[in-house]
Structure 1
Amino acid sequence: MKDSPTTGHNDAGPSHGGTGTDLAAPEGTALENRFANPGLPAHRFRTTDTDPKAARNAERQVSTIFLLSFIGTVVFLVGYFALPIEDDKSLGRLQLSTLVLGLGLGFAIFCIGIGLVHWAKTLMPDHEQVELRHDIRGTDEDRRDATNIILDGVEESGVMRRTVIRNSLIAALGILPIPAVVLFRDLGPLPGTVLRESLWEEGVRLTRDPDGTPIRAADVTFGSVFHVIPEGLAESSHPIEEKAKAAVLLIRIQPEDVKPIESGMINQADWSYGGIYAYSKICTHVGCPVALYEQQTHHLLCPCHQSTFDLTQHCKVIFGPAKRPLPQLPITVDSEGYLVASAGFPVPPGPSYWERGVSE
């Protein structure tokens, strides 16, 4: 008995989860004829596509949103200059300034985003298109076509003929970068001599951080570590900035544990007092606080990137990305037995920057 050329099982195969290979059968096959291409759905026109009055209303709405963004940026600028925190360092002023700046800038960026979305949804063409795949590198003709598509897109967007939208968007985007420029002002002055100078100078007492209590040499025992700031730091006009340059670690070790100064180095023989050494607390890599001291090895460690400085070799770098030793602060004692600086740092503390000399 011959098998039927077409069985019910075979007919039902594709409709019961046929593979992608089955659906990609060559043209002219029965399988291809079985599934007609549904094509694109009928295009649904928007109100703004058919009603010029609605299009004008949408255009005014987009322009209004962009102008609101402009106002938000103005609010930021007014708040920045009208609520300076340098004159009033209270918590209330800081909170008010942060609120005004955040709301102003956030509202400006939000309105630009909403305006662009509303513009695209209501006024830019939304016709469905089919684009066939092609080689990554097209022919010169294809490349010219791509350029024409971009130019057509500019034309279809209406940016050249909808002058109200275009000009309001230019105004909103033009003023938006100003807050960033203004905020650069808070990064501080250009290096110049500012980074070379600190509150340390001859006769300035070493005091405990943070209470500012002066330190007697007799109070520094072997193996002890003091976090030190210069006397009068709290009274300076910029205490945070000054502390970032003047923070010091004070450590006492046996003088015989310190190796002789290598030839070619600055003469630091008289910069310590009875085995008491003072070194900048600011890592020479990227400025993290060097606050970890291994008493047995006399190593100072930076917790950020593991730069290690050997106190017995005048804080020479023995491991990690830092390239320069920690600057040493020359110290001595005054007539009352308190530790004082005998001079400022010989080189700028902290990480390298472009105005440093080769020897620094």
Structure 2
Amino acid sequence: MTDNNTDNGNGNGSEEPRERVIGTPTGGGDALVAGKEEPHRKHEGPYLAEETHARPEETQIRGEKIAAVWFLIAFLAGVGFFVSYFSFAPNAANEPVIADPATAQLANALMGGTLALSLFAIGAGMTVWARQILPHYEVASPYDELPSPPKEKSSFSEFFMRSANESGFTKRPLMRRTLLLAMAPLGLAPIVLLRDTGPAPRDTLKSTLWEDGLHIVVEGTGRRIKAEDLSETGGMISALPEAHDGDHGLSLDDQAKTVILLIKMDPDDFGPQMNQQRLDWTHEGIIAYSKICTHVGCPAALYERTTHRILCPCHQSTFDASNGAEVVFGPAHRPLPQLPLRVDNEGYLVAAGDFSSPVGPTFWDAEVKN
């Protein structure tokens, strides 16, 4: 919008016209010139708008058809996502069909491309809807005291249905049906993708290699441990379960789950959390805890004998060894699991069972053993 100004700013009053954008100051420092108010912006109330603000009927019909085409494309792309997903899904034996990187790359491209096309088509259809079907007026209302008066509350349903009709959602069945059709695959996609998270955790995931009668050996040497090896109060040994006969040692995964701290304490120092069952899991003040921090799985390898504190150096989670390895500081939320102990006929320390609770911050794998 422009404005013809006869004053060229030299003060001689010549009528030399020039164009100026409305809203910009004149050369002589005059006040800003406001644009002319448009008739369609006048309203009598907060929810009223003149029908002349609606798009022409032919424009709405054309917009409905274009939006319906975009929504149909979105639906087909959503179906394509499911087809590409199940084409590369694991078979009945839970073995992946994808056997080489090139096939995996193709699968990712197909699934990502069809999902992106579906989202883009829905966005394009909504844009056409907004530009060619929705009315183009502005509604303004001053802030009122809360709560709303009864008259305004009773008029809400009428206002809601009027807005729904103006939006074209109830008036344009082709667009509405194709939109709902396009949204159906996207609504099901997250449910299908949950199968990639693996099976739900079961009780079998809570067990480790520790079992009753399994000997405890020094980590790194494989030497069995006797109770007298920890005769000094405050002594600490990092230990593992002994590999079964014929095994070539424990895997790194098994070591990470089964490594323990053996700590020698004065039985009089045990705290109130050490109930009779936990005390029965000790032997002459020797207690065993998982070495894996329950925060993010770092090794809690530091022990302070004067305070009986076990410290994880990664994020400073601190556990009280004298009180069931309860958390006394740091981000960890669970105590370290305790391993029940006893001695065999030869005086060697052996496990009396598995840990009292799951090891680490969570289950580290989703393999379910049959």
The TM-score range, normalised by the shorter chain, is: 0.5 to 0.7
- Aligned pairs for 1:339-354 within 5 A: 341-349=351-359
8 Å contact from structure 2 (residues 317, 329) kept in 1: yes
> Quick check: 1:156 aligned with 2:166?
yes
Structure 2 SS opposite 1:216: coil
Q: Counterpart of 2:37?
A: 39
Letter in 1 for 2:37: G
Structure 1 residues 54 and 167, CA gap change in structure 2 (3 angstroms): closer
| Among candidates 213, 216, 225, match of residue 223 of structure 2 | 216
Q: Counterpart of 2:10?
A: none
Determine the C-alpha separation between the residues in 2 that align with 1:324 and 1:57: 59
> Quick check: 1:135 aligned with 2:144?
yes
Deviations 1:238-290 (A, max 9, x none): x99x869x72443354455993575633144565699583426252xxx5325
8 Å contact from structure 1 (residues 273, 331) kept in 2: no
| Among candidates 57, 62, 73, match of residue 54 of structure 1 | 62
Structure 2 SS opposite 1:277: strand
How big is the shift at 1:119?
2.1
Deviations 1:315-338 (A, max 9, x none): 233335766532222357999999
| Among candidates 66, 83, 89, match of residue 81 of structure 1 | 89
Q: Counterpart of 2:288?
A: 277
How big is the shift at 1:101?
4.1
Structure 1 residues 172 and 341, CA gap change in structure 2 (3 angstroms): farther
Structure 1 residues 296 and 306, CA gap change in structure 2 (3 angstroms): closer
Structure 1 SS opposite 2:338: coil
How big is the shift at 1:39?
0.8
Structure 2 SS opposite 1:114: helix
List runs of 5+ in structure 2 lacking aligned partners.
1-24, 42-51, 363-370
- Aligned pairs for 1:107-186 within 5 A: 107-125=117-135, 127-137=136-146, 138-186=148-196
Deviations 1:162-191 (A, max 9, x none): 222222221222232322223334445555
Structure 1 residues 140 and 103, CA gap change in structure 2 (3 angstroms): same
- Aligned pairs for 1:1-360 within 5 A: 16=29, 38-40=36-38, 50=58, 54-55=62-63, 57-75=65-83, 77-79=85-87, 81=89, 86-88=94-96, 92=101, 98-125=108-135, 127-137=136-146, 138-190=148-200, 193-194=203-204, 196-202=206-212, 215-217=222-224, 225=238, 247-256=257-266, 259-260=269-270, 264-268=275-279, 271=282, 277-279=288-290, 281-283=292-294, 287-297=295-305, 298-302=308-312, 306-320=316-330, 325-330=335-340, 341-349=351-359
Structure 1 residues 313 and 94, CA gap change in structure 2 (3 angstroms): farther
Higher helix share: 1
How big is the shift at 1:100?
4.4
How big is the shift at 1:304?
7.9
Determine the C-alpha separation between the residues in 1 that align with 2:315 and 2:106: 37
Q: TM-score, normalised by structure 2?
A: 0.60
Q: Counterpart of 2:5?
A: none
Determine the C-alpha separation between the residues in 1 that align with 2:172 and 2:217: 68
Determine the C-alpha separation between the residues in 2 that align with 1:170 and 1:71: 14
How big is the shift at 1:58?
1.8
Q: Counterpart of 1:357?
A: none
Structure 2 SS opposite 1:344: coil
Letter in 2 for 1:162: R
User: In percent, how many aligned pairs have the same letter?
Assistant: 26
Letter in 1 for 2:190: A
Determine the C-alpha separation between the residues in 1 that align with 2:218 and 2:87: 38
Q: TM-score, normalised by structure 1?
A: 0.61
Letter in 1 for 2:309: H
Determine the C-alpha separation between the residues in 2 that align with 1:192 and 1:83: 22
- Number of aligned residue pairs: give it: 312
Q: Counterpart of 2:12?
A: none
For the aligned residues, what is the CA RMSD?
A: 5.2
Structure 2 SS opposite 1:292: coil
8 Å contact from structure 1 (residues 205, 341) kept in 2: yes
